[in-house]
Amino acid sequence: MKNYHSFVQSVYQIAQEASFNGIAHLSTQDAKFTGNNITLNNKPTANFGSCSYLGLEFDERVKGGAIEAIERFGTQFSSSRAYVSLGIYDQLEEYFKQIFQGSYALVVPTTTLGHIAALPVLVHDDDAVILDHQVHSSVQGAANMLKARGIHVDMIRHNNLEMLEQKIIELRPHYKNIWYLADGIYSMYGDGAPIQAIHALMEKYEQLHFYVDDAHGMSCFGPNGSGYVMQQATMHRKQVIAVSLAKAFATGGAVLVFPTYQQYQLVRSCGGPLITSGPMQPGNLGAALEVAKIHLSPEIEDLKSDLQDNIQFTNLMLSKYGLPVVHQTDSPVFFVGVSLPKIANSIIKKMVADGFYLNLGIYPAVPLKNTGIRFTITRLHTFIQIEEMVARLAYNFEQTLIEEEFAIGSIFKAFKMPIPEEKIIEEKISEALQAAELHIETPSSIAEIDKSLWDSLFNGRGTFDWEGCKFLQHSFTNNLDAVNNWKFDYLLVKDRDNKPVLATFFTTTKSKDDMLASESLSELVEDIRQKQGDDFLTSTNVMMGSMLTEGEHLYLDKTNPLWKSALKAMFEFSSTLQEKYNANAIMFRDFAQKDEELDKYMMEYGFIKSELPTSNAITSLHWQTSNEWVNSLSAKGRRHVRNTILKKENQFEVSLVKNASIQQIEKWYELYNQVKGKSLVLNTYTLPFKLFKNIALAPNWEVIELRLKHTPEKVAAVIFNYISGKTYSAMFIGVDYSLQAEYHSYRQALYQSIIRAKTIGAERINLGLTADFEKRRIGASSTQAYAYVQLKDHYNMSVLSNLAKSKTPRLRSVQPV
């Protein structure tokens, strides 16, 4: 729920920023429309954001059909179609049957309602569903209804038919039918589904059925304007098509197209929205009749041809002006990649000021780092309008990159497109210009950094002072298990006076994508990993700090006027690491303060804010005795400590271990693994044994062992703590769970760490993530931590979200640690 609210807040922030810039939530000021010009901000503007690709909304016949229907039947015939429908419906569905060459057509109020009507009826409880990663959100919304029924819903990467076939092979022994859900033409990038190859798979696998949303293909392609899918192949016996009438068809409503009359009748009779929702208005039905007549006449071919002429001319202009088009297609949807939201916002703002309206293609429709300029071409555009728009777009594109000091090569990298030679030269020039502002150091080892400098910035922040980083490097290199070998990269940004403006470090490693997911979801994912392999839902990620550190990893001097330039250098450095290590995600983490200025700046550079688990710390150690400490707690806390900790304290022998034997270390590791195996609250990889051997030798680490006095050979618990300045950090723990219920060893270990922190004069004790309630009872305060995340590829997160919406797996009984 927290991450969902983070998602909502991120989308809201993006929308508000676009609205503030005057490029979204706009209203026209026209008294009347003529052609493709609209008035925005009291200025004539050429509309390159319309999906009415054939411009039929201005056709006199179409307008006349709407007016006539309203004159005859009023503005609304308010009755569910389950009871009675206007007779126009029958005539319209007959026309669509002809348009779709004999297939059965069912008119519905909207495409979204059509999906909600059809899919729950067509897909049975013993069927499975596979979603294309980029299938329209309206289809995914209907698929969520199927998940609620317990239907298996899977996902494949966009247009990856090899992956689709692999899924079919996996699922076919267990399910009666398998439904693949995709778009004909995808609404953001304008690319199409490989229809013929999908048909070949349906012939190869009898269980495979195809449900396709061809909203953007309708009227623009195919015989009689029947759409992109029908242009690629005739209607398949196991295929259902949904098309929109609100785009190139220029009216309203949608049509579901079935290969059999039985399917038509089934959805007509049982589809929820067709029983409970209102019908299309008479005006839309009357207009649709006229547009259907045009589709059934030779005129539709001329309209389609005119549109294709404009599309081909647009492609020529985009090539002429060298803009980075993400997909070269024959569809009327175009997407020019710009990578960062702030670049796109600036370009579109300039375009609106120049009299051209284009769309912002941004998260959640695309990954935030894949933000772009989306525009559409209609039959009503002229060649002059198109060239003027593309020329102005190219100029504003170049000017914005110069203003933002942004290398164009980063755009090609973001969209995985080859960089043209001339762009590589431009990028090198840009880098040379930027280098004059700040001095940037990027060592790969802490040994290359002056210890006093690093500690002046990070001592007391956690476990990543100079000695702590040295310890991490020693522990997480040259291990047998690849997941415990991390790449280390440090960043120091200094001004011309050699004064640090920014400093941090990054580790790059493979991690589990469900690391921060709910425990029940991680349990489900681990079950799948048992069957499909350990790499399921894992990614290589560039992370500020490391898996074993907590705290403020970023030193940033916001009093320095170059702090934003320093942050930009960090963005570019982390992106370089992302490319170097072929990582999917970049995460800047452990920000504790709400900072709207920083939030805005991060969002502009493609980073989404996300909530992390809360961190826990005791920040006041002013008491002198344990009794004073107990009395400083809440009433419930005092009872808890006295009854479960102090009452048992004299049964433990507590020791600070030095010069541990290998047998002792092996026991620590066994107890650590007991804790690790008990909880998936933070689903990370198991730490290497080498780490524990290094802890035993490291001067800044302390190991507190708790043994029972009556059986001193038994270690009940062991806790591993790190000292940095005046900060004492309890990092992780090992517990013998056979003794836990009776002796509360876990709580005793926390208590002994608090006492030890006080003894050595610490002013703060960090108690780590998770078990918030347990730690608050002993006086800790919980702080909400935040991360800023940028994903190159959202596929794994979409799969994880899909699993989260599936049947809720059973919960294990887990002892909090």
Helix (H, G, I), strand (E, B) or coil at 429: helix
How many Cβ atoms are within 10 Å of 102's Cβ, its own excluded? 9
Distance, in Å, from the CA atom of 313 to the CA atom of 311, rounded to the nearest integer, reads 5
- What would the pLDDT profile of 611-648 be if each residue is shown by its tens digit? 888 999 999 888 998 899 999 999 999 999 999 999 99
Backbone torsion region of residue 47, taken as left when φ is above 0, otherwise alpha when ψ lies between -120 and 50, otherwise beta = beta
Measured CA angle at 118 (ends 117, 122), to 5 deg: 135
Q: What is the pLDDT of residue 426?
A: 47
Write out the two tokens for 747. Answer: 């709580």
- What would the pLDDT profile of 641-657 be if each residue is shown by its tens digit? 999 999 999 999 999 99
For residue 12, name the pLDDT band (cuts at 50, 70, 90).
confident
Please state, for a pLDDT cut of 90, what percent of the chain lies above it. 76
Write out the two tokens for 80. Answer: 């569910």
Q: Where are the beta strands (DSSP E) in 681-797?
A: 701-708, 711-724, 727-735, 764-769, 781-783, 786-791
For residue 1, name the pLDDT band (cuts at 50, 70, 90).
very low
Write out the two tokens for 123. Answer: 């897909």
Write out the two tokens for 343. Answer: 């670049």
C-alpha separations of 809 from 167, 178, 526 in Å: 22, 23, 12
Q: Which of 154, 155, 156, 229 is nearest to 197 (CA)?
A: 229
- What would the pLDDT profile of 198-234 be if each residue is shown by its tens digit? 999 999 999 999 999 999 999 999 999 999 999 999 9
DSSP string, 506-568: EEEEEEETTTTS-HHHHHHHHHHHHHH-TTTTEEEEEEES-TT--S---EE-TTSTTHHHHHH
Strand 359-361, strand 239-244: pairing: unpaired
Distance, in Å, from the CA atom of 789 to the CA atom of 586, rounded to the nearest integer, reads 6
- Region 245-263: mean pLDDT is 97
Q: What pTM does this model have?
A: 0.84
Check whether domain 60-295 has CATH 3.40.640.10, yes or no: yes
Q: Please say if the pLDDT value at position 95 is more than 90.
A: yes
The CA-based diameter of the chain, rounded to the nearest angstrom, is 97
CATH architecture for residues 617-783: 3-Layer(aba) Sandwich (3.40)
C-alpha separations of 80 from 76, 92, 108, 109, 207 in Å: 12, 17, 11, 11, 34
| CB neighbour burial string for 644-661, b if at least 16 within 10 angstroms, e if fewer | ebeebeeebebeebeebe
Distance, in Å, from the CA atom of 502 to the CA atom of 570, rounded to the nearest integer, reads 8
Write out the two tokens for 538. Answer: 């894992």
Q: Please say if the pLDDT value at position 10 is more than 80.
A: no
Q: Where are the beta strands (DSSP E) in 259-380?
A: 333-339, 356-357, 359-361, 371-376
Q: Please say if the pLDDT value at position 809 is more than 50.
A: no
Distance, in Å, from the CA atom of 214 to the CA atom of 453, rounded to the nearest integer, reads 60
Q: Please say if the pLDDT value at position 308 is more than 90.
A: yes
Could you report how far apart the first and last alpha carbons of the chain are, in Å?
Answer: 22
Phi, psi (5° rounding) for residue 53?
Answer: -65, -25
Distance, in Å, from the CA atom of 514 to the CA atom of 684, rounded to the nearest integer, reads 9
| CB neighbour burial string for 273-288, b if at least 16 within 10 angstroms, e if fewer | bbeebebbbbbbbbbb
Locate the domains of the chain by residue range.
2-53+301-435, 60-295, 439-612+787-804, 617-783
CA 61 to chain centre: 45
Q: What is the pLDDT of residue 204?
A: 98
Phi, psi (5° rounding) for residue 708?
Answer: -80, 135
How many Cβ atoms are within 10 Å of 466's Cβ, its own excluded? 22
Helix (H, G, I), strand (E, B) or coil at 655: strand
Backbone torsion region of residue 25, taken as left when φ is above 0, otherwise alpha when ψ lies between -120 and 50, otherwise beta = left
Q: What is the pLDDT of residue 4?
A: 59
The residue behind tokens 């992109």 is: 228
- Region 754-767: mean pLDDT is 94
- Region 281-298: mean pLDDT is 97
301 Cβ contact list (under 8 Å, min separation 6):
none
Q: What is the pLDDT of residue 418?
A: 80
Order across the sheet with 781-783: list the strands: 652-656, 701-708, 711-724, 727-735, 764-769, 615-618, 781-783
Write out the two tokens for 445. Answer: 């080892």
Homologous superfamily (CATH) of 2-53+301-435 is: Aspartate Aminotransferase, domain 1 (3.90.1150.10)
Provide the total of helices (H) and of strands (E) in the chain, helices listed first: 30, 28
- Identify the bridge partners of residue 704 per DSSP, sorted by sequence position: 656, 719
Q: What is the pLDDT of residue 16?
A: 82
| Equal CATH topology for 439-612+787-804 and 617-783 | yes
Q: Which of 698, 745, 700 is nearest to 722 (CA)?
A: 700
- What would the pLDDT profile of 430-462 be if each residue is shown by its tens digit? 444 454 478 999 999 999 999 999 999 999 999
- What would the pLDDT profile of 712-741 be if each residue is shown by its tens digit? 888 999 999 999 999 999 999 999 999 999
Inter-helix orientation angle 2-20/596-604, to 10°: 80
Distance, in Å, from the CA atom of 475 to the CA atom of 490, rounded to the nearest integer, reads 17
Cis bond upstream, residue 364 (ω within 30): yes
* Number of residues assigned to the chain: 817
Helix (H, G, I), strand (E, B) or coil at 14: helix
Distance, in Å, from the CA atom of 548 to the CA atom of 405, rounded to the nearest integer, reads 35
DSSP string, 477-516: SS-SSGGG--EEEEEEEE-TTS-EEEEEEEEEEEEETTTT
Q: What is the pLDDT of residue 5?
A: 62
Strand 104-108, strand 128-132: pairing: unpaired
Cβ 449 vs Cβ 466: under 8 Å: yes
**Residue with more model confidence, 814 or 248:** 248
Stretch (H or E) spanning 17: helix 2-20
C-alpha separations of 19 from 12, 49, 777 in Å: 10, 16, 45
Write out the two tokens for 525. Answer: 């994912």
- Identify the bridge partners of residue 372 per DSSP, sorted by sequence position: 337, 361
Q: What is the pLDDT of residue 9?
A: 74
Stretch (H or E) spanning 669: helix 662-678
Mean pLDDT of the chain: 91
Homologous superfamily (CATH) of 439-612+787-804 is: Gcn5-related N-acetyltransferase (GNAT) (3.40.630.30)
Strand 152-156, strand 128-132: pairing: parallel
DSSP string, 771-802: -HHHHHTTT-EEE--EEEEEES--HHHHHHHH
- What would the pLDDT profile of 401-434 be if each residue is shown by its tens digit? 999 888 888 888 888 888 775 554 445 444 444 5
